[in-house]
């Protein structure tokens, strides 16, 4: 019955690639677009931190210890969000802290997506022992709680930016790998794949030229959703003291530092918390919009 009630198809004269259509749909969605703009602002903030931050994030001034935000009694406009227990400017530390969150979020998701996509393609298209091996590893990794797995790895490898990225990638690739494998299993039965086989196309061509472009949209959508997740994980690790080491500013460690003063100086942990919330929320909203825009159900 659905076919009967859909609007009759109308040919579109403009020449547009399916990808461009999706992007146009995304741009037309105001809410998601706003979220995407917020994410871009955060990225710009990270990139331009040295020029944007009003103060040196590492310079402590014990006279300003736990100084409240500008609008409260005892606050100062030049230290807009107040200062932490060591008298460092919270706004500047948040601006610098975005570098850690975004670097780790982007790096982990990028590496995990590339690794996961290649392994998922191999498992889904080649089947046989390749599939069995990759799928079993995925099953085993899925059995570990993520955070505990990361904590264990960090304890073994020691702290540091590269190690956080590594520790998170170890498990994160599983997500795109599973998505890709499932999509490939469906796509390999499509007639256009058979058509390529019917002219003798090599396996590599079929995997990377015929199938991959068609499964990229769900992968991109999942990756953006996972980026929010990875940023929270990094904050959690830093909160637990296993992340980036002091004095480097990280939102997670800032929240941890402020925890002790939450009743007397709420601003120390609240503002980095809001920063995490805002970035993660924006990424999630934007990725919802991406999913709607790329979902083939909505394409025409």
- Positions touching another protein (CB under 8 A) are 1-5, 7-12, 15-19, 132, 190-192, 194-202, 205, 210, 213-214, 299-300
Distance of closest approach, residue 279 Cβ to another protein, in angstroms: 32
83 strand-pairing partners: 89
Task: Tokens 């170890």: give the residue.
Answer: 170
Distance of closest approach, residue 216 Cβ to another protein, in angstroms: 9
- Helix 90-126 with 251-259: angle, nearest 10 deg: 130
Closest CB to another protein among residues 27, 195: 195
Contact 32, 295 (CB under 8 A): no
Closest CB to another protein among residues 137, 166: 137
Helical (H) or strand (E) element with 19: helix 18-27
Distance of closest approach, residue 12 Cβ to another protein, in angstroms: 6
Closest CB to another protein among residues 16, 59: 16
Closest CB to another protein among residues 71, 129: 129
- Helix 212-239 with 90-126: angle, nearest 10 deg: 140
Distance of closest approach, residue 290 Cβ to another protein, in angstroms: 17
Exposure string of 236-263, with b = 16+ CB inside 10 Å and e = fewer, is: bbbbeebbbeeebbbbbbbbbbbeebee
Closest CB to another protein among residues 12, 156: 12
Closest CB to another protein among residues 12, 148: 12
From the CA atom positions of the chain, what is the Rg in Å?
23
Beta-strand (E) ranges in 157-216?
Answer: none
Closest CB to another protein among residues 165, 187: 187
Closest CB to another protein among residues 130, 240: 130
Distance of closest approach, residue 25 Cβ to another protein, in angstroms: 10
Contact 218, 183 (CB under 8 A): yes
| Token code pair at residue 126 | 């080649």
The candidate with the shortest Cα–Cα distance to 70, out of 90, 85, 52, 93, is 90
Distance of closest approach, residue 6 Cβ to another protein, in angstroms: 8
Exposure string of 108-141, with b = 16+ CB inside 10 Å and e = fewer, is: bbebbbebbbbbbbbbbbeeeeebeebbeebeeb
Distance of closest approach, residue 206 Cβ to another protein, in angstroms: 10
Distance of closest approach, residue 115 Cβ to another protein, in angstroms: 23
């Amino acid at each position: 019955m659905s076919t009967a009630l859909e609007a009759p198809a109308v040919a579109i004269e403009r020449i547009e690639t399916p990808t461009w259509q999706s992007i146009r749909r995304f741009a037309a969605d105001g809410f998601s677009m706003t979220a995407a703009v917020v994410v871009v602002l955060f990225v710009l903030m990270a990139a331009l931190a040295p020029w944007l931050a009003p103060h040196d994030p590492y310079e402590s001034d014990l006279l300003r210890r736990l100084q409240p935000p500008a609008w409260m009694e005892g606050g100062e406009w030049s230290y807009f969000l107040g200062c932490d227990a060591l008298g460092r400017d919270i706004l500047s530390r948040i601006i610098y802290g975005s570098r850690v969150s975004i670097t780790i979020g982007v790096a982990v998701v990028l590496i995990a997506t590339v690794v996961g996509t290649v392994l998922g393609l191999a498992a889904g298209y080649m089947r046989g022992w390749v599939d069995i091996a990759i799928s079993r590893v995925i099953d085993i990794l899925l059995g570990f709680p993520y955070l505990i797995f990361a904590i264990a790895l960090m304890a073994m490898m020691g702290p540091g930016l590269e190690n956080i990225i590594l520790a998170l990638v170890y498990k994160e690739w599983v997500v795109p790998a599973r998505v890709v494998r499932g999509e490939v299993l469906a796509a390999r039965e499509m007639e256009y794949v058979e058509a390529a086989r019917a002219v003798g196309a090599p396996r590599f061509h079929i995997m990377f030229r015929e199938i991959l472009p068609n499964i990229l949209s769900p992968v991109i959508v999942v990756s953006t959703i996972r980026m929010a997740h990875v940023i929270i994980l990094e904050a959690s690790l830093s909160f637990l003291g296993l992340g980036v080491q002091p004095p480097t500013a990280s939102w997670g460690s800032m929240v941890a530092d402020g925890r002790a003063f939450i009743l007397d100086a709420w601003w120390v942990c609240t503002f980095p918390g809001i920063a995490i919330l805002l970035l993660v929320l924006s990424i999630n909203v934007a990725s919802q919009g991406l999913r709607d825009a790329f979902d083939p159900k909505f394409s025409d």
